[in-house]
Copies of this chain bind each other. A is one copy, B any other.
């Protein structure tokens, strides 16, 4: 760094404390691309001549093939290192022009936004893949009955297909949030100077277009100092992680010996160095803890920003750090989640057995008493409650085993109209498979509904894929264009 004002060099310890070069490798390539676009615009606006442009573009093209060539040791960040590299190669008269009308403050947030676009596209792609896997599982498990839980107590009878669809629905909303966050990210801050713009005739729309952005963050203070679009991404990703973590939590419980509904594949499970019988669902546990890390990162970012004055402050460097960490963690978590879902070993028989040996059909029985016998729901609820008490006391595994005598005693207490035989009939009929077919309200676990839900989810998935494809195309086109523009300038040199 050209240290105009402070005397002497930075203490090594201080430099080490301050430097972000170690994490800047994630944005090095974007810094080079941004520099290409900036140089081209400078030339087009008459701020550097063709010769300088060509030399700069040539060096940058070399670097793009191997960004590691840039010497980063001794620099505070990649931007400084890149300029130093160009000056070393081209001399200050040429290389010293690259920061014309540009500051590290608009440059770093440019790089972050470019990087975030690509990462968000990868993340969305992985999310789509995961949803696909979940839909496959939903289809495979249309016939898998299991208890649904509230308060972790058996609540109602459901089916596993419906359960999986509840997660694909959540993930669709996560996808939607990320698509919106993408739009917020996809605006160019370049040309905002350190905080108050530039007195040079920069063309901000040109660099934005060369780099594939759709629009500008106009106000230069806003562009260099705000990070709300990053917070929006981190919030959306935190919510996504919670979706994944809650599914993982279910699977952890369901893969206990006690629940026994499923197992993760052997080649994803861990074992014990001490206990030979163990098969541990470690990746599921780590999804849970990674969620806590993502939350910690979000909090760190909010805290950094919460009382930061306007304008760039160095604190933002650490926000960059945790932002990168979050993108990286979510990406690997999505991959492992997908691997887990696709290879889940599901124990349908055991689920079915559990459902049969439960009182989870109580509400269905009560509802049938409402429908068929006209009981007030509260009355029906109380009546079934009394049957449950008997069943518990007598340790009966299902309500249909309550004796007619006991039923008679209970019906008498409720209503003259309620006949024992009617109750017996309802009890007998409320088997898992049958009662699910009665679940007619929209969104209920009823295999017929699930089939329709899967179908419409597939359509929704297609829509999401298409949207993602378009975003990628747009970026690719911009990349191609930048390469072509660069080449055409470089050819001009060769003609000379």
Within 8 A of B (CB), among A225-267: 225-226, 228-229, 231-232, 235-236, 238-239, 241-243, 245-247, 249-250, 252-253, 255-260, 266-267
Q: Would B220 and A231 count as touching, CB distance under 8 A?
A: no
Contact of A309 among B9, B79, B250, B333 (CB under 8 A): B250
Q: How far does the alpha carbon of A224 sit from the alpha carbon of B197 in the complex, in Å?
A: 43
Instruction: Provide the residues of chain B in CB contact with A297, threshold 8 Å.
Output: 296
Q: How far does the alpha carbon of A311 sit from the alpha carbon of B205 in the complex, in Å?
A: 47
Instruction: Provide the residues of chain B in CB contact with A483, threshold 8 Å.
Output: none
Q: How far does the alpha carbon of A357 sit from the alpha carbon of B200 in the complex, in Å?
A: 24
Q: Would B312 and A288 count as touching, CB distance under 8 A?
A: no
Chain A interface: which size bin?
Answer: 35 or more
A221 close to B (CB within 8 Å)? yes
Q: Would A336 and B13 count as touching, CB distance under 8 A?
A: yes
Known contacts A17-B286, A196-B439, A286-B314; A153/B268 CB under 8 A: no
Within 8 A of B (CB), among A174-230: 174, 177, 180, 184, 191-202, 204-205, 216-226, 228-229
Within 8 A of B (CB), among A295-345: 295-319, 321-322, 332-333, 335-336, 339
Q: How far does the alpha carbon of A293 sit from the alpha carbon of B149 in the complex, in Å?
A: 24
Q: Would A92 and B381 count as touching, CB distance under 8 A?
A: no
Q: How far does the alpha carbon of A330 sit from the alpha carbon of B322 in the complex, in Å?
A: 17
Q: Would A103 and B273 count as touching, CB distance under 8 A?
A: yes
Instruction: Provide the residues of chain B in CB contact with A479, threshold 8 Å.
Output: none
Q: Would A191 and B442 count as touching, CB distance under 8 A?
A: yes
Q: How far does the alpha carbon of A51 sit from the alpha carbon of B166 in the complex, in Å?
A: 38
Q: How far does the alpha carbon of A435 sit from the alpha carbon of B200 in the complex, in Å?
A: 11
Q: How far does the alpha carbon of A14 sit from the alpha carbon of B287 in the complex, in Å?
A: 12
Min distance, Cβ A448 to any Cβ of chain B, angstroms:
12
Q: How far does the alpha carbon of A205 sit from the alpha carbon of B435 in the complex, in Å?
A: 23
Contact of A221 among B158, B217, B223, B273 (CB under 8 A): B158
Instruction: Provide the residues of chain B in CB contact with A376, threshold 8 Å.
Output: 92-94, 96-97, 100
Min distance, Cβ A365 to any Cβ of chain B, angstroms:
8
A367 close to B (CB within 8 Å)? yes
A371 close to B (CB within 8 Å)? yes
Q: Which residue of B has the minimal Cβ distance to A231?
A: B239
Q: How far does the alpha carbon of A377 sit from the alpha carbon of B1 in the complex, in Å?
A: 14
Q: How far does the alpha carbon of A173 sit from the alpha carbon of B220 in the complex, in Å?
A: 15
Q: Would A105 and B277 count as touching, CB distance under 8 A?
A: no
Instruction: Provide the residues of chain B in CB contact with A13, threshold 8 Å.
Output: 335-336, 339
Instruction: Provide the residues of chain B in CB contact with A439, threshold 8 Å.
Output: 196-199
Q: Would A385 and B155 count as touching, CB distance under 8 A?
A: no
**Among A97, A192, A321, A376, residue most surrounded by chain B Cβ atoms (within 10 Å):** A376
Known contacts A104-B274, A226-B170, A256-B152; A310/B441 CB under 8 A: no
Q: Would A307 and B307 count as touching, CB distance under 8 A?
A: yes
A87 close to B (CB within 8 Å)? yes
Q: Could you pull out 21 A-B pairs where Cβ atoms are within 8 angstroms? A: A5-B277, A47-B370, A76-B270, A103-B274, A104-B274, A105-B150, A151-B280, A153-B280, A158-B221, A193-B274, A194-B272, A197-B444, A200-B441, A202-B441, A219-B443, A231-B239, A277-B384, A288-B307, A289-B318, A293-B300, A303-B306
Q: How far does the alpha carbon of A335 sit from the alpha carbon of B293 in the complex, in Å?
A: 26
Q: Would B102 and A389 count as touching, CB distance under 8 A?
A: no
Q: Which residue of B has the minimal Cβ distance to A332?
A: B17
Q: Would A271 and B6 count as touching, CB distance under 8 A?
A: yes
Q: Would A443 and B223 count as touching, CB distance under 8 A?
A: yes
Q: How far does the alpha carbon of A235 sit from the alpha carbon of B437 in the complex, in Å?
A: 40
Q: How far does the alpha carbon of A271 sit from the alpha carbon of B314 in the complex, in Å?
A: 11
Instruction: Provide the residues of chain B in CB contact with A442, threshold 8 Å.
Output: 191, 197, 202, 204-205, 216, 218
Min distance, Cβ A71 to any Cβ of chain B, angstroms:
17
Instruction: Provide the residues of chain B in CB contact with A102, threshold 8 Å.
Output: 274
A283 close to B (CB within 8 Å)? yes
